[in-house]
Amino acid sequence: MEYRIEKDSMGEMQVPADKYWGAQTQRSFQNFKIGIEKMPCEIIEAFAILKKSAATANCRLGKLDEKKKDLIVQVCDEILAGKLEGNFPLAVWQTGSGTQSNMNTNEVIANRGNAIAGEKLLHPNDTVNMSQSSNDTFPTALHIAATLGIQNRLLPVLDTFAATLKRLEKENQGIVKSGRTHLQDATPIAFSQEISGWRGMIEQSKKMLEAALPFLKQLALGGTAVGTGLNTPKGFGVEAAKAVAEFTGIDFVSEENKFHALTSKDAVAFAHGALKALAANMLKIANDVRFLASGPRCGLGEIRIPENEPGSSIMPGKVNPTQCESMTMVAVQVMGNDTTVGVAASQGNFELNVFMPVIAYNFLQSVKLLAEGITSFHDNCVKGITANREKMAYNLHNSLMLVTALNPYIGYDNAAKTAKKAFKENISLKEACVQLGFLTPEKFDEVFHPEEMI
């Protein structure tokens, strides 16, 4: 491998000749050989958005000339287009402020920009990092990436999922089945009502995520090192947030209290709580689907789901609810991520939180896993759900909890006696009720209508 010599305030470093990063990136790359987790690409893209926004703000405020601003914007657009992939090699497990990833971005933009210009116009610190500090850029990148992930990637997936559930509700109108509580037989429910519960979970989760977005849209940029805004021109934070909003089409704003913005990560903790709530709902829905589809002969078997792949290496013909299992694993991973995000968010010591890279990694993993996991679950399972009407009817009419319909006519205690007798002797509720002398056969038929119990 060929190398070139790059310099920083600590001296010279050998850097791969085919990469645009500089000495500070190289130092981090060599000093933090921990794990396989790299800084998420969403953070790099967010850095590109904020760097071109900062350059635009500096130019508008008279601190940066047009030529240098345009050069920075051009390189940032290359990063966003994926043209500089491979130039961001740093581990998540680095300095807790994300300084090295900020400098990685600064160095790549400066070196690539100078290569385009054919002269040394950009300096990583003095030009690309103008009016900024890692302490306000990383939380800004985190908020941008989190907002884009939720708004552009996850919410559309929830809309699609909810629409499919709405279709399934309509298609299954009129089908009555046994309800279940405590995993035991309960009073009847319409299958469409059961599906509507799933839909309500998705719609509620969407509202919770939307409620978190206004807090994520508040940006720390302009606070610099400790929140005082040292070395920034007046109005920089507002102008930079305005540029971010222009470039993303999302209504980002400058957070008013920069001291809060740098040290507190309450916005991401709150938003991830909504991600955890969604994960909990998805785990419930996936479990319902796989239990309702259990069988094909020895389980509930009340619904049929698509058969996607063989389920066993030893049992011929076996097909498993693999999409449900995948979805539930995604859900528990997100729940685990929530613990990490919550603990990390509590570590805002004095003027800065220094757990930001791990917050970013876990938050963005949760968004990605949920978006892709729900899409897979939807496309390969949920949209193909069909009702096994015969099995639903059979289970409904064999449920002892239909006896609840008799409460108004024979009372709770006598209804309980009827159910217990029917279960013990393996006879119908009608037979038990008549044998106990509570109702005549004619009166039983008159008042007992399971389909009307919903």
Active site residues: 182, 312
Peptide bond into 89 cis (omega under 30): no
User: String of b and e for 262-294 (b: at least 16 CB within 10 Å)?
Assistant: bbbbebbbebbebbbbbbbbbbebbbbbbbbbe
Q: Which of 153, 151, 38, 202 is nearest to 104 (CA)?
A: 38
DSSP 8-state code for residue 91: B
Helix (H) or strand (E) holding 190: strand 184-190
Place of tokens 């008042």: 447
- DSSP-H helix ranges across 61-98: 66-80
The H or E element that residue 189 is part of is: strand 184-190
Encoding tokens for residue 84?
Answer: 């500089």
Produce one character per residue of 39-64: b if its CB has 16 or more CB atoms within 10 Å, e if not: bbebbbbbbbbbbbbbbbbbbbbeeb
- Which segments of 226-265 does DSSP mark as H helices, in order? 236-248, 258-263
Q: 237 Cβ partners below 8 Å, 6+ apart?
A: 219, 221, 222, 223, 229, 254, 255, 258
Phi-psi region of 411 (alpha: psi -120 to 50; beta: other; left: phi over 0): left
